[in-house]
Amino acid sequence: MSDRCNFSHWLALEGLRATPVRLAMLEILGEASRALRAQEILELIRTRRRVNKVTVYRILEDFSRRGMVRKLSLEGRVNHFELACEHHPPHPHFQCQTCREVQCLEPVALNRMWTELRGPLGNRADHIEIRIEGLCHKCRNIS
């Protein structure tokens, strides 16, 4: 999914230096087939280079504020992150109650719901997050 993104260029557009840590994080997120926890990202970077966890958290927060990644508030007080490039449109997520793993679902047509979901009284709606909770096929077969 990341193949089509030029991360150095993207960072430049955002006015950020294309540092090794930032590039590694974007590559890792781009190669991931699911949303990752900060800890997972940290471990994956550390297979390549020595990095401090604070750096990862700060970069994630920075990317998130710029809309380069989406921070997902899933179950369990651990945030998940996924790339928000043009090739990764927003989509619902499925999370298993047992193994806590997260799957990305196909984007659904949300435009119709949008105005309805905007809420009353002049709120400005910026993001929508849809989370489905249940039991994934793997955990269904176990129990």
Candidate residues 58, 73, 87, 99; the one interacting with a copy of itself per rule CB under 8 A: 73
Q: In terms of C-beta density within 10 A (0-12 exposed, 13-18 middle, 19 or more buried), how is residue 141 classed?
A: exposed
Query: Residues 54, 106, 111, 142: which binds a copy of itself (CB under 8 A)?
Result: 106
Encoded one letter per residue, x for contact with a copy of itself by CB under 8 A and - for no contact, window 120-139 reads: xxxxxxxxxxxxxxxxxx--
Q: Which does 58 bind (CB under 5 to 8 A by kind): DNA, a copy of itself, none?
A: DNA
Contact status: 50 vs DNA (CB under 7 A)? yes
Instruction: Please choose which of a copy of itself, DNA, none residue 123 contacts, taking the beta carbon within 5 to 8 angstroms, the exact cut-off set by kind.
Output: a copy of itself
State the amino acid at position 120 in one-letter form.
P
Q: For the stretch 99-125, what's the b/e string if a residue is b when 16 or more beta carbons lie within 10 angstroms of its beta carbon?
A: eeebebeeeeeeeeeeeeeeeeeeeee
Under 8 Å between Cβ of 128 and 107: no
The stretch near a copy of itself (CB under 8 A) out of 7-15, 21-29, 39-47, 70-78 is: 70-78
Length of the chain: 143
x/- mask, a copy of itself, residues 2-41, rule CB under 8 A, reads ----------------------------------------
Interface with DNA (CB under 7 A), residue from 5, 44, 51, 139: 51
**Which one, of 102, 105, 104, 123, lies nearest residue 114 by Cα?**
123
Spatial distance between the Cα atoms of 110 and 117, rounded to a whole number of angstroms: 10
Q: 73 vs 107, which CB is nearer to DNA?
A: 73
Phi and psi (nearest 5°) for 69?
-130, 155
Give the count of residues interacting with a copy of itself (CB under 8 A).
Answer: 39
